Amino acid sequence: AHRRLRRRSPARRARRAAARTHARRNRL
């Protein structure tokens, strides 16, 4: 199950998107 989850990595994509929004907020 772990290998299968790692292969898909949906959480990783969400984290990257969140980081982008945070960066935009920090820029002000």
So what's the pLDDT on residue 3?
A: 73
User: Under DSSP, is residue 1 helix (H, G, I), strand (E, B) or coil?
Assistant: coil
Listed as ranges, residues in the chain with pLDDT below 50 are none
Residue-by-residue DSSP string for 1-28: -HHHHHHH-HHHHHHHHHHHHHHHHHH-
So what's the pLDDT on residue 28?
A: 62
Residue 18 has which token pair? 């969140």
So what's the pLDDT on residue 2?
A: 64
So what's the pLDDT on residue 16?
A: 81
